[in-house]
Amino acid sequence: MQFTNRVAVITGGASGIGRALASAMGTRDIAAVALVDMSSNIVDVAAEINAEAGRKFAVPFQGNTTDEDFRRSVFDAMAAEHGPVSLCVPAAGITRDDLAVRVDKHSGKARIYPQEEFKLVIDVNLIAPVYWALEMIARIAEDRAAKGLKRWQADEEVQGSVVFIGSISSQGNRGQISYASTKAGLEGAAATIMKEAIFHGVRCGVIHPGFTDTPMVRAMGADYVAKNILPFTQLGRLIRPEEIADAICFMLANSAVSGELWVDAGWHAPA
């Protein structure tokens, strides 16, 4: 699949992997990218990306990715101005890290991970990404139905592609009961969407980044990164967002690629 004349949606586009991916798509002649984020900084980021590319292709949208009306409005606006969306990378995500059960050393009482925090992470990291993908797939399906097309045939070429942002934490990681659960959940969602969406000519995959140099990882603190991440990473450094972006572009563009791709820089959890 070529990116030329394609329209994409990226959530979490104001920083990290989302921003790097938009820049990478710009160098691959993408027609337009909806750059979605809750941060008001998204407007400046889109302007910077457009300036870097020497053309206007990144379109900023500020809003909450868990909001259904906002989601639909982004797809409506892009379709009206640039054409139907056929590439979707819902990269927005949050962490609310803490032990699942923590015992207070003074009282001896156990505190369970707050349920409201778990629900929030599920909403942002699992439910929202799935529905941004389904929004695109549904619109492609409607367009095909309007044209009298039924089951997709290989000679039509791929109609669309989705890549979810998983994580090495999907295998389990101490202190990430909510985050790890959502990333593992994306594997099940993607496996199901893969089987269903190809009826409409849409591919779906999951990329599992290792520890990447993003604001989310930097928030762990330099000491934590130095002591608990780098010694167990074969590459000896954090992964650059541009490296993950390049891998995502590969997954989107190469129609023979399916399933999951692990981009973990050789990281292995300490025993």
- Which one has a higher pLDDT value, 43 or 222? 43
Res 219: pLDDT: 80
| Residue with token string 């990306």 | 49
Closest residue by Cα to residue 125 from 73, 78, 183: 183
Model confidence at 211, in pLDDT bands (50, 70, 90)?
A: confident
> Are 125 and 93 within 8 A, CB to CB?
yes
pLDDT digits 0-9 by tens, 129-177 = 999 999 999 999 999 999 999 999 999 999 999 999 999 888 888 889 9
Q: SS3 for 236?
A: coil
Q: SS3 for 194?
A: helix
Model confidence at 271, in pLDDT bands (50, 70, 90)?
A: low
Which residues is 165 bridged to in the sheet?
207
Helix residue ranges, H only, the chain: 16-27, 42-53, 68-82, 115-122, 128-146, 177-197, 215-218, 222-228, 241-253
Q: What angle do CA 91, 94, 98 make, to 5 degrees?
A: 145
How far is Cα 177 from Cα 171, in angstroms, rounded to an integer?
11
State mean pLDDT over 256-270: 85
Res 254: pLDDT: 93
> Are 203 and 161 within 8 A, CB to CB?
yes
Whole-Å CA distances, 72 to 30, 91, 168, 172, 185? 21, 17, 31, 33, 23
- Which one has a higher pLDDT value, 269 or 86? 86
End-to-end CA distance of the chain: 42
How far is Cα 46 from Cα 37, in angstroms, rounded to an integer?
11
Q: Domains in the chain, ordered, with CATH?
A: 7-263 (3.40.50.720)
pLDDT digits 0-9 by tens, 8-18 = 999 999 999 99
